[in-house]
Amino acid sequence: MKIEGLWRYPVKSMAGERLEQAFLGARGIPGDRGWAVFDETRGGVTGAKRIPALRAGKPRYVREPVEGEASPPVEIALPNGTVARSDGGAGPALSAWLGKPMSLVGLDGTAAAAPRLVLSTESVEFQRAAMGLIEGEPDADMSRLPPERITALRRGNFFDAFPIHLITRKSIATLARIAPDTLWDLRRFRMNLLVEGDLEGDYPELSWVGRLVRVGKAVIEVDMECPRCAMVTQAVDEVPHDPRVMRTLVRETHHAAGIYALVVEPGEVRVGDGVEVL
């Protein structure tokens, strides 16, 4: 097995940056979800579950992030042709684009982070829609993510839960074989690591839960399967909105695609580096 691709996402819910190399630390790749959009009306960090238009923002860092330090400035190319910069008053540009009062908040390198809007405070109907579910479909198994653990995992970051998300090319190929009329584009999954190789099983990484995996010079601990939400169905660039993505995942993998992991041995990783289940 080897690393086929590496990504970080400078702004939560927006487009990613493809990398050739990265450092994997306790908080994942430096700069990953280093910024987030803040809903000034509701008083919390928001994302594409609530505002799918965020997927169209294309951010990039002005300089490289450093492990453990505050997020460096970011600039975002917006689909209306404007550019919002974190160090130049991004709020007005974001507000004009999204049609409501918004600002941009970053991480300061400590355990503190801006408060976020959480699904548990929303109606059941909204929660199910945000998870991409229709009537009759079961909720995802979130037993590995009770509220107290979610709170601990979200200290000092803007992740949904874990700092590393990995998926294999084999899993994506399996989904494409099962549902060939759906476009199984990589951008739907927003992974940090894409792994390729001659792997056994339809969804090989799901069998790694509870195990250690060496990726390049780092070691990650696979904690759980990654439960998917409506974001995998959303349009991004030329990739169309397609609710059939969730219909397939609910039916075939009990909502999961890829795995969540923690970094237990920090280290450098590069595209082409080997991957080994320990």
What are 125-177's pLDDT values in tens digits? 999 999 999 999 999 999 999 999 999 999 999 999 999 999 999 999 999 99
Residue 27 corresponds to which amino acid? R
Strands 164-168 and 193-196: parallel
Average pLDDT score over residue span 186-198: 97
Q: How many CB atoms within 10 Å of residue 158?
A: 24
Query: pLDDT band for position 243 (50/70/90)?
Result: very high
Residue 70 has pLDDT above 90, yes or no: yes
Q: Which helix (H) or strand (E) holds 74?
A: strand 74-77
pLDDT tens digits for 23-48?
Answer: 999 999 999 999 999 999 999 999 99
DSSP letters of 149-187? HHHHHTTTS--SS-SEEEEEHHHHHHHHHH-TTS---GG
Predicted local confidence at residue 111, as pLDDT: 82
Residue 112 has pLDDT above 90, yes or no: no
State the burial class of residue 245 (Cβ atoms within 10 Å of its Cβ: 0-12, 13-18, 19+).
buried
Average pLDDT score over residue span 3-7: 98
Compute the distance between CA of residue 69 and CA of residue 46 in angstroms, rounded to an integer: 23
pLDDT tens digits for 264-274?
Answer: 999 999 999 99
Compute the distance between CA of residue 70 and CA of residue 109 in angstroms, rounded to an integer: 4
Predicted local confidence at residue 110, as pLDDT: 87
Predicted local confidence at residue 109, as pLDDT: 87
Query: pLDDT band for position 10 (50/70/90)?
Result: very high
Average pLDDT score over residue span 101-126: 93
Compute the distance between CA of residue 272 and CA of residue 3 in angstroms, rounded to an integer: 5
Chain mean pLDDT for the chain: 96
Compute the distance between CA of residue 6 and CA of residue 195 in angstroms, rounded to an integer: 9
* pTM summary value: 0.95
Distances (CA, A) of 106 to 37, 112, 156: 9, 10, 10
Compute the distance between CA of residue 116 and CA of residue 240 in angstroms, rounded to an integer: 28
251 close to 133: Cβ distance less than 8 angstroms: no
